[in-house]
């Protein structure tokens, strides 16, 4: 009879909530032992992934126009972008992001264009570096066309071309600078309350990424909850002989939307107890 009552009770719950896990509310004995108090609640985690791109100008950037014929940037800059976001239960683990490597090779302590120990001004260094770049390019063409010698072929040829490319990249970084791209992960955890639907997590700026809520120059990053209408009501016990009744919490399905300013970044459907209902049914064993 008790199992029949349970099936009847669950059957009165809407289809949307049948797949949800209900939890008992109140003071009770846990497996006949310790007396515990249960007030089911959900915790939600938001994981933001922000790509930070920083540019550092080359130490010889001012001479790029004169010796390479191309103007180079002289100003440092940082650009940020929210590339991904996850809204999950706080107990759910999210795979960490992989931090990328620098896109340009940093110059060594002794640049490749230095072939002796004589003192050089910065402009002389720029001239020598430019000469080395054009020399490497000439050698690359000679290797490819075969003018460098008929015995350079196969793996040896590829190794020589790779080394020329590495040296050229190192020298060009002295003029055009280096750009680093890094993915930074930020995690926020929220415990919703029944009377609140909006939660400010942080602020965001294109030049600094995630900043504190107190930084009014950034856009507000907010998590909004929109519970689905519940179809759960008091469930009477059919058998008058059943004197014991327990209260159980049924979570509400919520659409969780992450907003950055007016832009929607991510959304997810989660079960949240704080926006749900309570039902009174026969004991569930």
Q: Is residue 91 in some structural domain?
A: no
Packing angle between helix 122-145 and helix 154-176, nearest 10 degrees? Answer: 150
Give DSSP secondary structure letters for 100-117: PPPSSPPPPSS-TT--S-
pLDDT tens sequence across 197-251: 999 999 999 999 999 999 999 999 999 999 987 665 545 544 556 677 788 888 9
Distant-in-sequence, close-in-space partners of 175: CB < 8 Å, separation ≥ 6: 58, 60, 61, 63, 64, 67, 68, 72, 126, 129, 130
pLDDT tens sequence across 60-76: 999 999 999 999 999 99
Q: Do 249 and 158 belong to one domain?
A: no
pLDDT at 264 exceeding the cut of 70:
yes
Record the tokens describing residue 67, joined without a space: 């010796």
Q: Name the domain boundary from 162, 181, 200.
A: 181
pLDDT for 280 equals 77
Q: Is residue 16 in some structural domain?
A: yes
pLDDT for 37 equals 83
Q: Do 195 and 118 belong to one domain?
A: no
- Judge whether 186 and 83 are in contact, CB under 8 Å: no
Confidence band (pLDDT; 50, 70, 90) for 92? confident
Q: Do 119 and 174 belong to one domain?
A: yes
Confidence band (pLDDT; 50, 70, 90) for 57? very high
The secondary structure of residue 283, as a DSSP letter, is P
On the CB side of 207, CA atoms within 13 Å amount to 5
pLDDT at 1 exceeding the cut of 50:
no
Q: Is residue 120 in some structural domain?
A: yes
Q: Residue 115 is part of which domain span? A: 51-83+100-181
More confident residue, 145 or 76: 76
Task: Give the residues across from 202 on adjacent strands.
Answer: 221
């Amino acid at each position: 009879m008790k199992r029949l009552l349970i099936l009847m009770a669950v059957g009165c719950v809407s289809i949307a909530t049948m797949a949800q896990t209900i939890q008992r509310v109140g003071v009770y004995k846990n497996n006949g032992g310790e007396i515990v108090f249960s007030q089911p609640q959900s915790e939600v985690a938001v994981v933001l992934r922000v790509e930070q791109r920083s540019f550092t100008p080359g130490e010889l950037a001012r001479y790029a126009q004169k010796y390479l014929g191309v103007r180079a940037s002289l100003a440092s800059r940082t650009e940020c972008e929210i590339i991904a976001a996850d809204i999950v239960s706080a107990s759910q683990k999210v795979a960490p992001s992989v931090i990328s490597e620098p896109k340009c090779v940093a110059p060594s302590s002794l640049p490749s264009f230095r072939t002796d120990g004589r003192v050089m001004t910065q402009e002389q260094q720029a001239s020598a570096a430019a000469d080395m770049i054009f020399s490497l390019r000439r050698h690359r063409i000679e290797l490819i066309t075969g003018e460098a010698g008929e015995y350079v072929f196969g793996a040896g040829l590829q190794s020589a071309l790779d080394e020329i490319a590495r040296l050229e990249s190192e020298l060009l970084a002295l003029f055009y600078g280096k750009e680093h791209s890094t993915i930074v992960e930020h995690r926020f955890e929220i415990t919703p309350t029944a009377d609140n639907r909006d939660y400010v997590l942080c602020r965001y700026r294109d030049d600094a990424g995630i900043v504190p809520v107190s930084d009014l120059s950034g856009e507000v990053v907010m998590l909004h909850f929109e519970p689905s209408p519940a179809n759960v009501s008091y469930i009477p016990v059919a058998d008058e002989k059943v004197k014991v009744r327990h209260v159980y919490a049924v979570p509400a399905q919520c659409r969780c939307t992450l907003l950055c300013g007016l832009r929607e970044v991510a959304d997810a459907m989660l079960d949240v107890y704080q926006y749900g209902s309570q039902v009174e049914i026969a004991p569930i064993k």
